[in-house]
Structure 1
Amino acid sequence: MSDTTAGVTGFGYGDGDKPLFRVEPGHDSKLAMEQASAMMACAKRMTLLASTDGEADLGWAAHLLCDMVKAVMDDVEIGRGRESR
């Protein structure tokens, strides 16, 4: 069991099923989860602003950021040997 990112999870899909971005392998899982938590806090704030201030662009940015956070979290779990899909 590794405590690093596996580097197999992609995000940012466009046409088809090939990801535009991928989590890099070998990063410390604790650090990766801290980064995911910070990104999720930003996404939460963005969704609040999008809904209260009518900022549709912030809503789309938050949607994409959540996709990135999920990829990091999934990749950490794969790296730890507990695949979560």
Structure 2
Amino acid sequence: MNDKTAGVTGFGYGDGEQPLFRVEPGQDGKSAMEQASAIMACVKRMTLLAATDGEANLGWGAHLMSDMAKAVMDDVELGRQRGSTE
């Protein structure tokens, strides 16, 4: 995979339309997807602990991290689409 991130996908929206964070452009797609997978493994563990141990703050952390992982995956896909049209 020679895909690169597009650098247009944001995450961490607050009260406004502007994202607090954004995926950086030009990152290796394979590496970015590996990072997203690692984040989702943490999310899985955090949601289990939140559900079984009553740790609500872990649930919020998992929610934010899943938003981050989705942004990375979406941005890699946008980069792939852009690469296929060039």
**Which sections of structure 1, spanning at least 5 residues, go unmatched?**
none
- Give me the identity figure in percent: 79
Aligned length in residues: 81
Q: Distance in 1 between matches of 2:64 and 2:4?
A: 23
SS of 2:75's equivalent? Answer: helix
**Which sections of structure 2, spanning at least 5 residues, go unmatched?**
none
How far 1:14 sits from its partner (Å)?
Answer: 0.3
Alignment correspondent of 1:35: 35
TM-score, structure 2 normalization: 0.92
Amino acid at match of 2:46: M
Q: Deviations over 1:36-85 (max 9, x none)?
A: 00000000000000000000000000000000000000000000007xxx
Q: Name whichever structure is richer in helix by fraction.
A: 2
Output the aligned Cα RMSD.
1.1
Alignment correspondent of 2:70: 70
Q: Distance in 2 between matches of 1:27 and 1:21?
A: 15
Q: Distance in 1 between matches of 2:4 and 2:30?
A: 8
Alignment correspondent of 1:12: 12
SS of 2:21's equivalent? Answer: strand
Q: Distance in 1 between matches of 2:60 and 2:3?
A: 32
Alignment correspondent of 2:3: 3
After TM superposition, the runs of 4+ consecutive aligned structure 1 residues lying more than 4 A away are none
